[in-house]
Chain A
Amino acid sequence: MSEEFNDNKTIHAQSSETISGGGSSAAPDIDYVRPAEVEEQDLYHGHSFITKWVFCQDAKVIGVQYFLLATFTGIVGLILSWLMRLQLGFPGAAGFMTAEHYYQFVTMHGMIMVVYFLTALFLGGFGNYLIPLMVGARDMVFPYLNMVSFWMFFIAVGVLMASFFVPGGPTGAGWTLYPPQTILEGTPGSGAGILLMCLSLILFVAGFTMGGLNYLITILQARTRGMTLMRMPLTVWGIFTATVLAMLAFPALLVGALMMSLDKVLGTSFFMPTILKAGEVLEYGGGSPILFQHLFWFFGHPEVYIVALPAFGIVSDLISVHSRKNIFGYRMMVWAIVGIGALSFFVWAHHMYVSGMNPWFGFFFATTTLIIAVPTAMKVYNWILTLWRGNIRMNTVMLWCLGFIVTFVNGGITGIFLGNVSVDVPLSDTYFVIAHFHMVMGIAPLMVIMGAVYHWFPLVSGRFLDEKLGKWHFWTTFLGAYSIYFPMHYLGFIGVPRRYFEMYDSPYMTSAVGMNEFISLAAFLVGAAQFILIYNIIKTLKTGKRAGSNPWKACSLEWLTPSVPPEHGNWGDRLPVVHRWCYDYSVPGAKEDFITQTTPPSEVQNTGVEKT
């Protein structure tokens, strides 16, 4: 067994060494970096297929596993949205579709996309792959727990998918699962469906907690020498803050799901008020439905930022690399991420303006909501100022980033509408809301994911994705997404309610018929365009252009591994030593237009490099 471990061979050599190797030279050594505080991690190296690729403890493999499984659930969610659009654009075209089916598809689409797709993809996928590489660690601090985390997620997805096949089908209560109707007869899936949903969420939270602890502690306690918090890439900052939010917000979801299951199974009345049904009083009584809404949104609003913050972080890095400029206002960006994260716990009830909560809450939550727009707007300005006079490479990655900025500004502005009570009341539960949140937390983060895939695919596989296919993919998605969601704002203004199976022929709806057909056609097209990426990936793996090391000429650590793609343990014999932040692009006087994080100061003397 002993050859499976490193057994800390290199520690002593490393902790007493300074980088220039000249501890004896007389001048104060400008390249000095403090020695290592802790022993090197000893890793378990799998040898069999099972320990290397299935129950694998390597964060990079776990990241890819997360990515693939999340993509699978995302495709399920996409197909559900196709079915919904088919019904809305062409009522009755899908023969089997009843109102019950429609509600079930709405619910599952929402839950899958928010929790099992975006959260898992950003934190589980990108988090696992990038955190250890970007902070210069060999792996996550607790690889075994990390592995268990993925397999809990796997089971959670399995349970969720199983709910499609139980009697009564999956729950159809809307992704917010509001009681009392969620567990009352008459709502589709009020039996086994809702129970499996709650179970799946509980499993997801448990699994995510294991992963999240790893991400946080790896960032806090396992950075390499010289890597201060303020030298980390914004990607890591975004994922870090999002994970903090997840660790503190998921408990509310867990508690809500648990209490809901008890209401269903044991007949407790946590959320169930006294209910009259067909003239008869049900067994339930005295509970508080609005309590669930508070618990749900105490989770739900930070969840929005769990999806958005990693996107903010990643897009900052992509923009910086591909416009060859340092990110404008790095510290401001960090504080904006942290500030948004902290504020996100104080805004939740802006989702509940029409719920019948204490009416005074409107003042508090409208105020905090508008305050949170300030750091968000700062970030947008900084992205634009990063692009300003940059040496912009108009490749696929940059296109996705620009698409993100535009889409995010769009969704953000409608968010300011909805944050105000008096504007929200007539607009809530209309297609305006659908348009708003799909723009801001659906399409915008998705664009970042796509950009990130095109950016980091050469690292993961060693090959470039095809640019031509990539541009087709981008333009179809971008124009198509706008064709879907721009008209929806208008639908919302004329009062088309969300979650309606069919508009029938009410006179004021007839003007929306043509628009609904158009939206549906665009939705089919955009969905289909995503398969270009899958084709591109398969094609690239076989015949793509080889990338070599550091193909984008980036500064951050993940591109500086001794082998590409990086192997288990990431760094070969010795860990990298960091001397600067990861945004030294186009430094005046430097030989090249980028200075990697590991370049010691003595090599870049007489350049305009900033001290970071």
Chain B
Amino acid sequence: MDETKKKEQASTHKIGIYLWIWGLLFVLSFFSYMVDWYQFQGMLRWSLILFFMFLKAGLIMAFFMHLFWERYALVNVLLWPMTAIACFIFLMVAEFEYTLFTRIFYFAVGG
């Protein structure tokens, strides 16, 4: 690989995109802070928290970590293993509900 090709590859993005994402992250963090400030409760609170969380995480990964510009081979290698995590999460939700049920059933109700 000679010098000119290296330069070509290193062509970077305009500074504007980074500033935009930077600003968006501040705004989204502010919004998620407001969720607590106004003391939303219940499903509204949780869905808002998760919405802002995934949006922020997505922006950081896509633009700051350049995943948006990477080829699909890398993107897919990174994202598919998350299905194992998702499975783990869903099963552990079922598990903690069951543990809580048995605890209340045997300790509070007395079996």
Please tell me if B91 contacts chain A, counting CB pairs below 8 Å.
Answer: yes
- B residues within 8 A CB of A356? 102
Check A290/B99 contact, CB under 8 A, given A248-B81, A360-B94: yes
Cβ contact of A345, chosen from B87, B92, B96, B98, cutoff 8 A: B87
Known: A290-B99, A294-B95. A39 touches B1 (CB 8 A): yes
Chain A 314-358 interface residues, beta-carbon cutoff 8 Å to B: 345-346, 349, 356-358
Task: Name B95's contact: one of A39, A345, A346, A358 (CB within 8 Å).
Answer: A358
B88 at the interface (CB under 8 A from A): yes
Mark each residue of chain B from 61 to 102: 1 if its CB lies under 8 Å from any CB of chain A, else 0.
Answer: 000000000000000000001001001100110111111001
Q: Report the nearest B residue to A346, measured CB to CB.
A: B87
User: Are the C-beta atoms of B94 and A361 separated by less than 8 Å?
Assistant: yes
- Is A38 an interface residue, CB under 8 A from the partner? yes
Whether A549 is near chain B, meaning CB under 8 Å from some CB there, is: no
Q: Report whether B84 and A357 are in contact in the complex, using a CB–CB cutoff of 8 Å.
A: no
Q: Is there a chain B Cβ closer than 8 Å to A288's Cβ?
A: yes
Taking a contact as CB atoms under 8 Å apart, the answer to whether A357 and B98 are in contact is: yes
Q: Is the CB of A298 within 8 A of B95?
A: no
CB < 8 Å A-B pair total: 32
In the complex, which of the residues B97, B98, B102 has the most CB atoms of chain A within 10 Å of its own CB atom? B98
Q: Nearest chain B CB to A161's CB is how many angstroms away?
A: 33
For A361, what are the chain B residues with a Cβ–Cβ distance below 8 Å? Answer: 91, 94-95
Chain B residues with a Cβ closer than 8 Å to the other chain, count: 14
Distance from B18 Cβ to chain A, minimum over Cβ atoms (Å): 27
Q: How many residues of A contact B (CB 8 A)?
A: 18
Whole-angstrom distance between the alpha carbons of A357 and B97 in the complex?
11
B99 to chain A: which residues have CB within 8 Å?
288, 290
Instruction: Report the Cα distance A359→B1, complex, angstroms.
Output: 59
Chain A 354-371 interface mask (CB, 8 Å, partner B; 1/0): 001111110010000000
Complex CA gap A39/B3 in Å reads 12
Chain A nearest CB, measured from B4 CB (Å): 15
- Distance between Cα atoms of A384 and B102 in the complex (Å): 50
* CB-based nearest B residue for A216: B77
Interface residues of A (CB under 8 A from B): 37-39, 248, 288, 290, 294, 298, 345-346, 349, 356-361, 364
State the 8 A-B residue pairs at the shortest beta-carbon distance, nearest first.
A358-B98, A345-B84, A358-B95, A358-B94, A248-B81, A346-B87, A288-B99, A357-B95
